[in-house]
Amino acid sequence: MAEPAARAGPPADAWDRFFAELGRRRLFKLAAALLALLYASAIYAPLIASDRPYYMEGIDRGAFAAAQRELVGVTRSLAVLAAETEESYLARRAQGSTWDWGQALEAEAAAARRRGQILRDALPRGRRGALDDYLDGIEGLLDAGRGRRIDEALRAGERAIELAEAARRSAEEGRAELVGRASWPLFASLSAPEVFLMVSWAFVLGWPLWNPLVNRRLLGGERARIRRHRRTKLAVALGTPLAVAFAWAALAPSAPALDAAPYKAKLASGAIEARRVVFPPIALGFAETHMAEGFRPPTWTQASRMDAEGHYSRGPRRRPSDPTGFTPPGTPVEVRWGEPALNSALRHPLGTDALGRDLLVRLLWGGRVSLSIGLASAALLTVIGVVLGSIAGYFGGLADMAISRLIEVVLCIPALYLVLMASALVDPAVLSPLVAIVLIIALVAWTGVARLARAEFLRLRESEFVLAARALGLGAPRIIVRHVLPNALGPILVAAAFAVAAGILTESVVSFLGFGIQHPVPSWGSLVNESRSAEHWWVQLFPGLAIFLTVTCYNLVGEAIRDSLDPRARIPA
């Protein structure tokens, strides 16, 4: 009798049959493929649509001039900070100042370092000596300031100012000899978590290709070996993105200095003398505005055509006029570097909002918020529901009664009103609206999962394999996690799939009412709220379709999981 109890959860072939049953359902495969594409568009949004180039080789004369102009002033400020006595700092704090000397010193040093590095990188190798000396002087000054060695800091400050003057003169003399510099602005702006998600999703999208190949070539197609190595493949699929993310954080180039300057404007004005520039497929940022194109219809429609003066040339959006015959002057549209032509069908294929921001770009970036809130809230409420439901169902008695009464109390709370109230009252400076919405949804909507888990644990706690595990002396936590929970996962997975759809809908409602994610960060719900006029039909149509498509796909996935677990609903092989 010991052998059945030692096995955790259902036999491996049960899961094989479950996934085989899912694979025979066409609607499930279609929904899963659409969800995979939606998540891919959100995860890879920075690589699809951005106003930063992938690769740029050229001379940034604007940044060079700004760094040269500000170098001495920043160095003087750093010297003053580094030489400040501890008494004056404590006196300022006693007067109620919240100014942090240490943070200010590090920030000023970073600013001086950035400007020195800009000048050094732009100069030819033979003229970099003065900049190398300056950067070394900054490090010495910073070290003396951190150690509160006032006399040494005073001398180092004077020396750093002299080196800054010399560096500025050297930069002025080498201005005509500036060398082009290769940079990767878009990739430098990616964070390690973003890289982890991108590599992870590449593994997910490539699973239909690499999984059969591994099974056939490395494991010989033997079912026993394939089952034995499932954990190894999962570890590789998770470990590789983690390793890449850590390597990216350690080795990737930092964001270019003075990176707030718009690249396209500097390229168009000649501030950057570009030799080669590679932009993403859509060279627009999610917050980039074109005021002259406010509420422009999709550019594949005839109503969107504009002339060189910025007037709509046909349709109901004809040139404005009044009874006096006066026609206000138009505002010419600025076609920036890397953008399609004014009347190209690809310029704004989904139209623009009131500020002329491209709706397709904001739809891609908004998916990052809406989809992540749906997944995060579903995961959190599932964990809460499973923990409380398993305790109530497995132990029964007083624990069951207390948790059941808690479930009834939470069910009486109107979830949407609570979410709206909490979103309106929570200070964004204290807690991010995205995190607040996830927490509120999870803390209100866990009851359905808890009731399902409780029912399954009540059904399974007297099963033979559970009794055998108790007879072997296994503790309650191990029995719950290793034996009962794997057999109770079916209904919980169904509820989790529906919970993702419910979370996306809740976030969309909250953002539509103006209490969710705030500008300029987009979400699908806030995009719908950009205009409520029927004249601007594209503003409501395309984000609404994205919400409808995602929720429908999740509902289809949930129904497929439910039917695959029901023997009566299985499709004959």
Predicted confidence (pLDDT) per residue in 260-308, tens digit: 457 888 888 777 888 888 999 999 999 898 888 989 999 999 888 988 8
Domain at 2-7+18-46+360-569: CATH code? 1.10.3720.10
State how far the Cα of 452 lies from the Cα of 457, in Å rounded to an integer: 9
542 pLDDT tier (thresholds 50, 70, 90) = very high
Residue range(s) occupied by CATH 1.10.3720.10 in the chain: 2-7+18-46+360-569
Radius of gyration of the chain (CA): 30
In percent, how much of the chain has pLDDT > 70? Answer: 85
Tokens representing 57 are 């080789």
DSSP secondary structure letters along 227-239: HHTHHHHHHHHHH
Predicted confidence (pLDDT) per residue in 300-344, tens digit: 998 889 888 888 876 444 444 555 655 666 788 888 888 899 899
In percent, how much of the chain has pLDDT > 90? Answer: 25
- Residue 487 amino acid letter: N
Which of 384, 404, 380 is closest to 455 using CA atoms? 404
CATH fold, domain 60-180, is Four Helix Bundle (Hemerythrin (Met), subunit A) (1.20.120)
Burial zone of 64 (CB within 10 Å; 0-12 exposed, 13-18 middle, 19+ buried): buried
Residue range(s) occupied by CATH 1.20.120 in the chain: 60-180
Task: Give the pLDDT score at 2.
Answer: 41
Question: Is pLDDT of 214 > 90?
Answer: no
Tokens representing 206 are 């490539």
Question: Is pLDDT of 217 > 70?
Answer: no
Question: Is pLDDT of 377 > 70?
Answer: yes
